[in-house]
């Protein structure tokens, strides 16, 4: 729905001359827009999940490579 059409329908609402089919048009446009935004959000979240999985795999690789018989002493404790 274009902004001009939405403005026209808003004027009709203010004048109380809007028809049920025009109300349905507004609802339909709102649902379509919401659906598009939800799809965009879903794609962004999927991208984030994929990146997190890659990072987790890299961290696990680093941890497995660091456990080859060598340990790093982070703090020197006195006995």
For residue 73, pLDDT over 60 is answered with: yes
Q: Average pLDDT of 9-17?
A: 89
Stretch 3-11: mean pLDDT, rounded? 89
Contact predicate 31/23, CB 8 Å = no
Range of the domain at 29: 3-66
Q: How far is CA 38 from the centre of its chain?
A: 7
pLDDT digits (tens, 9 = 90+) for 24-71: 999 999 999 999 999 999 999 999 999 999 999 999 988 888 766 656
DSSP string computed for 15-72: HT---HHHHHHHHHHHHHHHHHHHHHHHHHHHHHHHHHHHHHHHHHHHHHHHTSS---
What's the pLDDT at 65? Answer: 80
pLDDT computed for residue 49 by the predictor:
97
* Domain-embedded: residue 60: yes
Q: Is residue 74 part of a domain?
A: no
Structural domain count, the chain: 1
């Amino acid at each position: 729905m274009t902004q001009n059409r939405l403005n026209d329908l808003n004027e009709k609402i203010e004048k109380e001359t809007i028809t049920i089919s025009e109300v349905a048009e507004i609802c339909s446009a709102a649902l379509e827009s919401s659906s598009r935004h939800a799809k965009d959000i879903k794609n962004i979240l999927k991208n984030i999940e994929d990146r997190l999985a890659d990072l987790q795999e890299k961290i696990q690789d680093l941890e497995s490579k660091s456990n080859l018989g060598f340990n790093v002493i982070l703090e020197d404790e006195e006995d």
